[in-house]
Every structure is written in C-alpha cells, then in structure tokens.
Structure 1
C-alpha cells in the first residue's frame, strides 16, 4: 500500500529512531517559531523594527554590545532566534534526505519545502529593514512565518504515533476550514499592525476599513472553531487526543477574543496584550492544524483496504 501522510503509523523498530528524532526536532522548531513570532510582534509594538539599521548584522557586529538597549536587544534576539531556526531547518532537510529510505516518501519533500520557507522568510526579513518596514513586506513576513509554523506542525502531527478510531467523519474538513479562516484573520491582523491602522483610525479617521475588516473577520474563524468543539463533543468514541485539542482550541478562542477586545479598548497602549494577542492567534492556528492532520488520519482508519489476494 502506498504510504501517505494520512495512513496509520505502521513501522519497524529500525524506522522508529529517525522518525522520532525528526518529530522531536520539528516540534522544538515549532515552539521556537512561535516564540520568534511573539518576539517579532514585540519588536513591532516597541518600535524596534529598525533598531538595527543594517542587515544581517546589527551595527556591523554579531553582538552590538555598545549599542545594546531594549529595542536593539529585541531586534537582535529576533534575528538570532531566526538564525537558530534556519540551522534547524537545514538539519531537518539533511536528516530527512539522508534517512529517506526508512522514512515516508513525502517527508524529505516537506522538509525541503520548510527550508525554502525559511530562506524566503530570511529574504523578507532583510527587506523589512532595507525597505523601512514597508507594510506589505511586513505582512508577508508574518504570513510566511505562519506558513512555516503550520508546515512544521503538519510534519510533526503526521509522524506522531497515533491510532485513530475511525469516528472523525466530517471533522477534518471543519477544522481545516477553521485553520484557513484563522490564518487569513492573522494576516488581516498583521496588516492592521503593520499599517498602525487602529491608531490611524482613532486619531485621524484613516484606514478604518482595514481595522473594521479585521473586526468583522473574527466571525468566520470563531464560528468554524466553535463548530469543531461542538462536533468533537457530539462525536461518540472520538479519540481522546482529538477531544483535548478541540478543548484547547475552544479555550484559545475565548482567550483570543478577550485579548482582542482588550487591545481595542486600550488602543494598543499595553504592549504585552498586543504581543499575547498575536501569539495566542498563532497557537489557535497551530491547534487547528494538528487537529486537522490527526482527524484526517483518524478518518483514514475507517477506510478498509481490499486484500489483493482475494
């Protein structure tokens, strides 16, 4: 039977070692990427995006000790974390291709795609500095980071030792819709942040359309996420991990809405709330992505493969 991402976890002990190493690596990289996005958000709200006037070095140095302050540290540490993730992506690709004969056929390709995203993300990171934080480049920078984050989670979730119950039914498509809506809403949020649309709207009645689009955009991901939670609880014999992920998504949704309301009412004046708003949004996206992959694997468990000998 041809191996795919959605097939159940059938492997020999010899295959387990590289799979387990890669799975641990991608989840660690995913956590580092989530932290990276939070630091990037902090860099923006603290007006530290141009704290290092050059790129890829900072004031022409690896560690700008004489110029170091909070703003410089945020931008410098953001680049440092990105460099570590880049090295991790190189290692992931190398290990995947080296052990390709004992790994799923899709894994080296997926790892290479992740490496491409990191390289592209680095280019966008450089352009954000050289183009003086141009809003479309900043938004693309966030969008690529989220895509890289989801790619890592897809790889990790596909490599998890997981035996589905065959009860997921339509849940994968509902959660996939939720993930897409959350991703698009995150891009709208990035656009609001990169253009300072909330400040512009409150201060000069400009860019209110951008801000209002983000506010109205809350509805689709909220409805889709609630649907995942409801259907998960109404599905009998659903795998406990899927139920936990649905609960996690529901909790993150409530927290995200609360943070959004707080940041709006406080006019983005409390920086930690703004950073938490973006970080929780990314975490909600991640929970829906992992849920979707596992739900697809669970649904595939109900597919009976005919025995060719019969």
Structure 2
C-alpha cells in the first residue's frame, strides 16, 4: 500500500516541479534586472574592469564598486543556472506543450546572447547601444520565463475547467498581447531616456514645459506618450478583468495590476 502511495505521488511532484522552478527563475531574473539597474544608476557598471574575473581575481578586492558589480554577476550566475534547468525540464517533459516548451528553450538561447553582450559591455567599456540591447534582452527573458509559469500554474486548469464561458475571447487575447508589447516598448524607451541623459529634459508634467525642439526633449516626450498609451491599455484591461471575470484569482490580479499602475 505504501508503494502505491509513492507511485501516485511521483506524478504530482513532477507536475509541481516546473511551476516552482519557473517561479524561482522569474523572481531571480527580476532581481537580476533590478540589480543591473542599480549598478548602472550608481555608475558601478565598470566596478569590475574585466570579465569574467574582477581585477583578474575570482574574489574581488574590497571596493564598493567591485562588489556591487560582482554581486550582480553572482545573481546572474544563479539565474543562468535556473534558466538552463528550466529549459532542460521543458525539453524533457513538456515538448508536447508549446506554450511551455518554446519560451523556456528560447530563454536559454537569449541567455547565451546575453552573456556574450555582458562581456562585451565590460570589455569595450559599456558602449551605450550595447547596454541598451542588454536591457532589452533582459526584459525579453523575463517575459519568456513568465510564460511557462503562467501555463503551468495550478490555477489554469481550474479556470479552463469552467467551460467555454471561461475561455478568453480573441479580442481579450489581442488586448492583453497589445498591452504586453506596449509595456515592453515603454521599458525600452525608459531605458533609452536614462542612457541618453534625457531624464530631466522636460521640467514639468504631463507637458514638457519647454519647446520640444531638441533630441533630448523629443526622447523624453516620446517616452511619456508611450506611457500614456500603456496606462490607457492597462486601465481598460483592469476594467475588463473586473467586470467580465468571475474567478477571484483573476480579479485579485486585476486589482494588483491597477495598484501597480497607480504606484508607477
């Protein structure tokens, strides 16, 4: 009888391993992006002037900048390992589920490109374009890791089990996709604003406050226009979820999205 119980437990453990690994990978990836932003904003991007070592050493010297960048690299190593494990798990067990398999494997491919760009970023003393692409790829990896987590979530079968009424319409899927793409563009324009020095190009809000006639004010206002568009798309999405969905988890997600929008 005990053997039978163990046999029934193994599939359950297998089903739980991907959501847990995907969640851990997503959290780690977001932490890595946040740490990378801190390193960039504080000016410690060259805290370690070489790569993959730091000042030619495995353990960096007792310098603030060196340890900031070294911590960023340590988080990157831990995150990379998790992304690879997620890709291997998806390859072995979920090749018949494309919304889990393809994003997980694609994340591994982007990880390789990201590692090469990270090295070039340091070796060539952080060219602005390379750094911007580095940020763009990082956010793509965040999205790719989030997709398997969403499709492997235990909540998904429960929502789908409600029948056709719970199935999202094409219009809803298109709106969510458009919001995701617009949010990605917002992140890219925001990154370009900080890298180009246009953060304070417009002294007032929501209008610029000065004539928009140079590159810095144009960059700043472009970012604001994209932000206004994302705010509109997100607010409609929140209302859509609250009014049209009865699943409490989706409603809580909608309220959380609205709260994040207000904070941002």
Task: Output the TM-score relative to the length of structure 2.
Answer: 0.83
Structure 1 residue 61 and structure 2 residue 57: aligned? yes
Question: Contact between 1:200 and 1:206, CA under 8 Å: does it hold in 2?
Answer: no
Distance 1:253 1:200 in 2: 23
Give deviations 1:129-148, integer Å, cap 9, x for gaps. 12322222111111111111
Distance 1:142 1:184 in 2: 12
Paired residues, what number? 239
Aligned to 2:196: 195
Aligned to 1:225: 234
Change (3 A) 1:186 1:57: same
- Which ranges of structure 2 fall in alignment gaps of 5 or more residues? 1-7, 204-213
1:119 to 112, 124, 142: 112
Question: Contact between 2:101 and 2:148, CA under 8 Å: does it hold in 1?
Answer: no
Aligned to 2:185: 184
1:96 to 73, 86, 90: 90
Q: How does 1:209-248 map to 2 (within 5 A)?
A: 209-235=218-244, 237-248=245-256
Change (3 A) 1:81 1:211: same
Measured on the aligned residues, the alpha-carbon RMSD in Å equals 2.2
Aligned to 1:289: none
Give deviations 1:231-253, integer Å, cap 9, x for gaps. 12221x53211111111111111
Change (3 A) 1:231 1:84: same
Aligned to 1:254: 262
Change (3 A) 1:98 1:206: closer
Distance 1:49 1:39 in 2: 11
Question: Contact between 2:99 and 2:148, CA under 8 Å: does it hold in 1?
Answer: no
Change (3 A) 1:201 1:54: farther
1:28 to 18, 24, 27: 24
Question: Contact between 1:198 and 1:208, CA under 8 Å: does it hold in 2?
Answer: no
Q: Which has the higher contact order (CA 8 A, sep 6+)?
A: 1
Question: Contact between 1:201 and 1:211, CA under 8 Å: does it hold in 2?
Answer: yes
Change (3 A) 1:17 1:191: same
Aligned to 2:47: 51
Change (3 A) 1:240 1:44: same
Aligned to 1:160: 153
Distance 1:206 1:95 in 2: 47
Aligned to 1:77: 71
Aligned to 2:211: none
- Which ranges of structure 1 fall in alignment gaps of 5 or more residues? 1-11, 257-310
Give deviations 1:214-270, integer Å, cap 9, x for gaps. 1221111100000011112221x53211111111111111101xxxxxxxxxxxxxx
Give deviations 1:68-94, integer Å, cap 9, x for gaps. 21x222211111111111111222222
